[in-house]
Structure 1
Amino acid sequence: MTQSPADLARDTRALPAEHPLSAGRTSESPLVTTYQGVRGDVTPVWFMRQAGRSLPEYRDLRVGTEMLDACLNPEMASEITLQPVRRHGVDAAIFFSDIVVPMKLAGVDVSIVPGRGPVLAHPVRTAQDVRALPTLDEAALAPISEAVALTVAALGDTPLIGFAGAPFTLAAYLVEGGPSKDHLAARTLMHSDPAAWADLMQWTATITGAFLRAQILAGASAAQLFDSWAGALSLADYSSKVAPASAAALSSVHGLTYTAGDTARTVPIVHFGVGTGELLKAMHDVGADVVGVDYRIPLDEASRRLGGTVTVQGNIDPALLAAPWPVLEAHVLDVLARGAAAPAHVLNLGHGVPPETDPAVLTRLVEFVHSRPTV
């Protein structure tokens, strides 16, 4: 798709001229160009959950501040987002937030309990519960937009990735009332009351889409939809009961456009799930440009399942971050070699950074990957 600058300026989905992509600050960065399917000389690398968790400076900053309060404090959220970029030299920042933040901003009574995770005061179990869910006032997203703007101003030519939880994962927390191993109550509602389930998924898609769009419009250069619990679903259930909501959420950012030279390009979208090896193609088909792959499936097999035409992201096993360096090095080399089967590859973890990870290992890993030419 090619548009003249004048046509693009009139496009209601065009990013502002001062956006880092539009201004050319991040449009040619290794991360963005790789997400667009161009394999560069060096494999870009960043880590999921790199913002916080394992960093002592994060723990020092968070003393006395609850997790959701930290997420909604623009200065603190920005500082936490920037910390791993300063320390590790990664090719992208990932916005520090939590998947339940848009629910909190909508007015849902949710808190994050240390050692347990998100807990809701009133689980959503019936059609009446779904109808009672509050409407998100997009003005409530102001702290998110402010945090993103502060962050991109400090990042320079390093891109920021916007982040949101996928509709199914949010719905699973809402129905279960907290973390669950099998998401049995959510899957039961899906089949026992399809109308209520559809309404719930529409609600989660709407707040997720608004949350992600606010980050992109404020300056994020890519979007990642994170489906923590989609691996609990069969392909049939995912395709019929979940994928339409994920597509609806991504429609809020799909096609957001900027110019690079004389060519119009769109903001790249990544879709990642845990335990979703059987769902990869369906997850790509909801409107993603890049598919994140967890550590359970090799990248060359993932690329084969995606038809060999999709950029992949992943998939170092987080458990090996605590292994002796020669073991981790061999694993990273294997991941890089298997990633060569795809058109392009962004190195990442096959899930998040464990809190106990030695930060020096992550820094060494980034330096090692940057020292090696792409395969």
Structure 2
Amino acid sequence: MNTAYLDMIQGNNPGVTPVWYMRQAGRSQAAYRKIKEKYTLFEITKQPELCAQVTELPVKEYGVDAAILYKDIMSPMVAIGVNVDIKPGVGPVFDTPIRRMGDIERLHQFDPTKVDYIAKTIELLTEEVLDVPLIGFCGAPFTIASYLIEGGPTKSYNKTRGMLISEPDIWNGLMEKLADMSIDYLAMQANAGANALQIFDSWVGAVNSAEYEQAIFPHMKRIISTIKTRFPNLPLAMNGVGTDHLVHIWAKLPLDIIALDWRSSIGEAKDRGVTQTVQGNLDPAYLYADTKTIAKAVDEILLDGVRHGKHVFNLGHGVFPEADPAKLHWLTDYVHEKSRELWARESH
């Protein structure tokens, strides 16, 4: 197995910067688009062999050093009794948004049998298919809550932040339920054989640092501490967007990897308390540019990563549908080639 990703996180420098991309499976890939002509996202995830095929696509096409399980952050909702529909061009939509304590009390305890196909896909990938580590993941309570409270995607998060501020009892009740789900769901993936785990708090950048510390941090600390106690050797990452003001808080958590988007500086990470492996952080917009322009930006990121000491290359957010697969293949090769030069120079 190619262990560069795990080696880097564990402090065993592989002499190359490992790379994978958020949303690397699907969207921009021709083979995936063909599959999507016949199946929805949820239909793919319910078929372990097909889901394993989609998960492996970017490993074969781009040569990345890790695979991330193909699924959605909403995939576990059925296991707590919540029906969700993913509408094309819109995103996750809920018929009955959460507004009061009674809505929260109706949420079930996580039932792994409702999503056993996810565990079966992980087993298939790790035992038979992949020659790189597999990353399992969950959505963080705030991000999941934003969909549940708003009833679907939003750009303002007004109802979500409104509940956090004005209804702290209801807010904490929901956070506790979703934290329980996150723990059970991550544990299920770890037990099935995932080689690493990642928590996506995609929209938590909508809150300020004081609100985060008071209303979100305690729940995140419980999730992360519980998972690290149960699976001490399993790398655990945190990822968000627009979260530069939260990086110093994440640095206090028992995480192994902190993902930085393009608005955060890898070079300043240590000054902000980050001793963990950093992940990131090329702006996805660079995928529109020519390779010379991309290379210049990548060189700076890789140099900052080498100076930090532990770095996994990624985008600052996900691969978008218009991205050219050939360019991602080139980018992967370039990161490997350039980073080998930088790490070799650093060791002399």
Q: Which amino acid aligns with 2:289?
A: A
How many residues of Structure 1 are paired with residues of Structure 2 in the alignment?
341
How many Å separate the matches in 1 of 2:12 and 2:157?
A: 38
Unaligned segments of structure 1, at least 5 residues: 1-24, 258-264
Q: Deviations over 1:226-255 (max 9, x none)?
A: 101110011111111111222222344213
Structure 2: state its 5+ residue gaps.
344-348
User: Over aligned residue pairs, what C-alpha RMSD do you find?
Assistant: 1.6
Deviation sequence 1:41-86 (CA, Å, 0-9, x none): 1110000100111111011112232222222222222111011001
Report the AA paired with residue 337 of structure 1: L
Q: Which residue of 88, 110, 122 corresponds with 1:114?
A: 88
Structure 2: distance between partners of 1:248 and 1:139: 24
1:360 aligned partner, one-letter code:
A
Q: CA deviation at 1:256?
A: 4.1
Letter in 1 for 2:236: I
Matching of residues 1-375 of structure 1 within 5 Å: 29-257=3-231, 266-307=233-274, 309-372=275-338, 373=340, 374-375=342-343
SS in 2 for 1:300: coil
Structure 1 runs (4+) greater than 4 angstroms displaced: none
Paired residue secondary structure (2:227): coil
- Bigger shift: residues 50-59 or 136-145: 136-145
CA contact (8 A) 2:287 2:323 kept: yes
Counterpart code for 2:254: G
* 1:94–1:161 CA contact under 8 A, matched in 2: yes
Structure having the larger proportion of residues in helix: 2
Q: Render the CA deviation track for 1:145-204: whole Å, top value 9, x for unaligned.
A: 001111112344410011111111001111011111121101111121111111100111
**Residue 225 and residue 83 in structure 1: after superposition, are their counterparts in 2 closer, same or farther (change >3 A)?**
same
What's the TM-score once normalised by structure 2's chain length? 0.94
In structure 2, distance between residues paired with 1:101 and 1:322: 31
Is the CA contact (8 Å cut-off) linking 1:277 and 1:302 kept in structure 2?
Answer: no
Verify the 8 A CA contact 1:269 1:290 in the aligned structure 2. yes
Q: Percent identity?
A: 39
Compute the displacement of 1:140 (Å): 1.8
Query: Does the 8 Å CA contact 1:213/1:252 hold for their aligned counterparts?
Result: no
Write the letter of the residue equivalent to 1:101. Answer: S
Amino acid corresponding to residue 82 of structure 1 in structure 2: E
2-structure distance, mates of 1:202, 1:72: 27
Q: Secondary structure at the match of 2:323?
A: coil
2:346 corresponds to: none
Q: Describe the superposition over 1:322-359 as per-residue Cα deviations: whole angstroms up to 9, x where unpaired.
A: 10110011111111112223220000000000111000
Q: Counterparts of 2:284 and 2:158 in 1: how far apart (Å)?
A: 27
| Offset, 1:216 | 1.4
Deviations 1:296-315 (A, max 9, x none): 122112332134x2210000
User: Counterpart of 1:285 in 2: which secondary structure?
Assistant: coil
Q: Are the equivalent residues in 2 in contact too, given 1:244–1:286 (CA < 8 A)?
A: no
Q: Evaluate the alpha carbon distance shift between residue 55 and residue 303 of structure 1 in structure 2; reply closer, same or farther with a 3 A threshold.
A: farther
Distance in 1 of aligned mates of 2:130 and 2:51 = 17
Comparing 274-283 with 130-139, greater Cα deviation is found at 130-139
1:216–1:253 contact (8 Å) kept in structure 2: no
* TM norm structure 1: 0.87
**Secondary structure of 2:116's partner?**
helix
